[in-house]
Structure 1
Amino acid sequence: MSKTSLEKPEHLELTRRLLNQQSFSSLLRLLQDVVQAWELAEGAALLLLHPPGARVSFYGLDRQQQSLSFHDQTLLANGPVLELQRSGQPLRATAAALAERYPQIAALALHPSFSHYCLMPLRAGGVLLGGCELWRSNGKPFSDASLVKARLLMDLLSMAVEQLQLREQSQGQQRQLRRERDDYRVLVDVTNAVLSKLDLDDLIGEISTEIHRFFKIDAISIVLCGDREDLVTLYSTHYLQNNVAQRQQSTVPLAGTLAEQVMQSGQMLLLNLKQSDQLADDERQLFDLWHEHIQSLCILPLIFGQKTLGVLKLAQCQPDNFNAANLQVLQQIAERIAIAVDNALAYQEISRLKERLVHENLYLTEQINGNSPDFSEIVGRSQGMSSVLRQVEMVSKSDCTVLILGETGTGKELIARAIHNLSDRRDKRMVNMNCAAMPAGLLESDLFGHEKGSFTGATAQRMGRFELADQGSLFLDEVGEIPPELQPKLLRVLQEREFERVGGNKLISVDVRLIAATNRDLKQMVADHEFRSDLYYRLNVFPLVIPPLRERPEDIPLLVKFLTYKIARRMKRTIDSIPAETLRLLSLMPWPGNVRELENVIERAVLLTHGTVLNLQLPELQFHLSPMSPAGPLAIPAGQSRTAEGVARPAADSSGPADEYQRIMQVLKETNGVVAGPRGAAQRLGVKRTTLLSRMKKLGIPTR
């Protein structure tokens, strides 16, 4: 069997030489030598398609054998190569015919003078790569025999062209990857540098340093919005000689500036500044600094979320710094700067509020710690109170959770404060919170804090009660009023000692000693599926039951004396005597509002006393109170039963609710329906406003 044409040694050598070419210019020089040696043509060039074929590139050699290329999306694509795409066959023409049909291409003068022209197709794997242009100036047309010979060369040339295209594509991808890698490094370095700065002045300095280092930009300014819409704060940095930074800060008008234009549009602005332009003072200053050179100015908006914080202004005498690749990176940097600026502004506001809070807390701490860390305000010698105080001393030295149980007005907050003041946390603050006084929708935010923008009205980050109580104690009064949907989060804090703010995803660890209190029967609430059992067990580590005042009548005389002198001192009155009959009558009363109700009665009595002897009017006393049940001073009032925690509650089969309904209605009538305030029904009944409203709701009494 004879060898095929491609298997001839000379053809194998030519194939090797063609495939060894590293560029189109060297390939064209070799191609030109071959077509001349084979007497095919006097010159050759390449017309290569770029997928999907809408763009064609010309590769040739000039008279000095130097590389010559031309790229046009439409002109070359609508030339001879278009016919080649349609027919797939070689195209032969005279110079005159070619110029007449494609005058615009002829005007480019890409070829030397010739008489005859031939465009041979180049294919690889059945795909048309483009064509090889051949031309002669000897007046001889391209014959069919010469085309046969040319086809052999085109087969070899196609492999070389395909290899070069793949190499160029690979090199282009590598250049793109290197550029993206370098851009990514710049972006990471700048991002890490600016996001690590929380102080605004430090952040501005770091921004200018990093941008100057990577992009050699000599004028960097940050324009930030302030409290006033018509004024902005300008932070400018100019690198003049030896890369020494000159920094300025000033407050300037916003109206009519290029910064205002960018802030309103939210789009980047790139332009060359001229002396004749209407410019702001800081923009005109650039001409003075750089001796009236033309300034290329790039202004990028600083937008975080839906808020425009200001702009980043970059000015340079060398406009090539603002090429497409750099602009893309600078836009990404501006996005990171906006985040960093928002963080710095938030930190600035937090620092201001924290400083104010520190001063307020110093005052509050002095007030709280001014009370002796003992039981100075807890009055009682009864067996029940003595037992409670012994338990307080016992539990204070530990860090376990305490649940204080007792009716309204028994002094649960005083017990909580005594636990804190006797603990090792006494030098830290005790934060109080009444869960019943806070609307359910705001309770989570108040307990755990929230992030800026987490809900409507959250204009700034806020610390919650748990954060405020870190290293100290948190007293949750009326803990039974916490809604079921919030109970799992409270349980998590007690178990894990960590939580997230509302709208945040950062875990915040705290060291808080929890003291809770309630006048409700939590065990019954668990049975009624109103309170989580696992949370109840977490709270009920050390229950403390405060007996109601009716169960310790022997403490009433002591309380009356203590309250009388305390209130008289506060009112700057002198009362040095309390009639024995008054003490006896007060000891016989049931005091449904407990110590708080007794304090209210004493306060009215002190207010009405004109001399030094406490004047407690018997009709006034009988109006507010009814004598205790004949069962004895320690008996539970009729219509009530005892819970497992020792708290009295109405019995289901008694007439207590009816009596309570009549009593509340009578007091509301006397106060014209007013519940709160110094003359309201809650004050006269000796209960909290929230407690009275809760009872009215249960009894079906409408509120005004």
Structure 2
Amino acid sequence: MAYTPMSDLGQQGLFDITRILLQQPDMAALSETLTRLARQAALADSAAIVLWHADSHRASRYAVQTPDNGAQHSDKALLANGPVRHILSHPQALHCTAHIFNETWPAIAQSDIYPAFAHYALLPLAAEGQIFGGCEFFRHHDQPWSERELDRLNTLTQLVAVVAEQLQNHENQAPDYESLSQQRDDFRILVAITNAVLSRLHMDELVSEVAKEIHYYFGIDAISLVLRGSRKGKLTIYSTHYLDETDPTHDTQEADEAGTLTERVFQSKEMLLLNLHERDKLAPYERMLFETWGNQIQTLCLLPLMSGKNLLGVLKLAQCQKEVFTQANLNLLRQIAERIAIAVDNALAYQEIHRLKERLVDENLALTEQLNNVDSEFGEIIGRSEAMFRVLKQVEMVSPSNSTVLILGETGTGKELIARAIHNLSDRNSRRMVKMNCAAMPAGLLESDLFGHERGAFTGASAQRIGRFELADKSSLFLDEVGDMPLELQPKLLRVLQEQEFERLGSNKLIRTDVRLIAATNRDLKQMVADREFRSDLYYRLNVFPIHLPPLRERPEDIPLLVKAFTFKIARKLGRNIDSIPAETLRVLSAMEWPGNVRELENVIERAVLLTRGNVLQLSMAEVAVPQAPVAQPAEVARDGEDEYQLILRVLRETNGVVAGPKGAAQRLGLKRTTLLSRMKRLGIDKDTLG
């Protein structure tokens, strides 16, 4: 019979067992040796070692599952609530049948931790009076341990305790070089990404940098940053796809939030990790992912970007055919998401501050422009004529509504004053009216001034600009000289009036606005529509409620009132004391035609105040005499049998193709140059190919 140490626990037996146990390099080998010794001594069919971790209140178990495989390590919270917790408070040997074990710890009995057994024993492992685990022994046959066998198991357990304590001390003291190296690499990645993203204050730059860094360090090919848009229920998605390693594609789009995976993260504020299959019910963005990546199965990781308790957005990472979302990478990506959230918060704050700053600058400029022009107008509506009475009744009628108003009248009749009166009498008067002169703005800048632009939208656009439509939200926008708006810009104006939404230049983000439009022009829009110089649909949209302002010559009874008001206002501004106006002066001024209307009258009075010495207005009739316009030549008419095409063609030939000027075809035909050019284009006449 072969010698087995456990058959004789004398001095030599204990020495041999101790030597064998001390040769084991780790807990897994120790548990395997314990099982072998217990079997050799016929004390148990199998054995295991359970260790208690007081710092985490968890337990580790080392056992040999079958004779063919090695020892396995289990680390589960379930073990912490099993027999090992019992011996912590009852430091004596525990032994029971399988039936009692199953009743006492049913959760463990139903798990796959323990093999089938008939009898169970657990003896405590102790060091310096503290229990740190136990040795488990199992018998498959229905014969309990005798007292002598339990004594032998206790002796064996004490020897195992000495070795297990040494192994634990060695593990706790020995540095984990692999773990330290991983921590160092993770720290370097975290610092590099943090430095790269925190300096980006513009959202497009931030998104691009985030995508570049995550792709570089993790090899992830589809990176998206998802933020809630300005419109309710909408998401703004900034995406980068590395279909081509050297030339990634960048895209910004708006999508509905409902039904998306992002919506789930917004609701739970927890990371979401899943495999996405083509057969899954997909929102449009996830469907686009499949189309972009050739309908491959993708693993998606959605990380919430938290700022305190506020969820700013979601970092969405997608990868095909490559497992990158390991537990170690996920832990690092969570930390990266925290840094990205700080950068997003900074960028959003900068964006809001910049927007408010630009809005304040634009509002100040517009308000300064408006205040500077108030004095050059006439402060209040002056007039008792029947013609002005009709106008004021129309103003009173239309002001409470939100209807578009078109003010028609010659230059200088006071169209802006009427527009201001409409605004002041409306429910929008708590905010200032925004105005813009379409004729005073270069055509190339008109669109930017109306709708605003993003940084980089065109050469010279170094900063974001808030447009007049955005400034006039919840207020009124006065577009003066709307007849001078370029034809190519008119559809965009029509769309804002119909849809109440627009996009800044260089952006595809829709901005909602609530603006009441008041337009004015001194041109004949109806004729411009006929000449195809103005869009008919825009004309009908503007012409909802037209107000015709009469020229000054049609209300001469108002001229004395205007003269007196202008005289006293201008004299006060210039520090003069003028308290009398000769009746003859008023009679002469009332009899004049005033082609420049009220504006011309005001300029004449200002010049007279400047030249007056004393307190009686002095006005030289020679200074106000207006040179007579040359008598217009009668317009060329069609000869017998000539239609419009033949008439224009004949006059162009007679003027050698000259369109403008005193001897040009437009003058001969009694048309404006632009009107003639429009008709030539419509009729297919090219002046450079005249026969």
TM range (shorter): 0.3 to 0.5
After TM superposition, the score normalised by the length of structure 1 is 0.43
After TM superposition, the score normalised by the length of structure 2 is 0.44
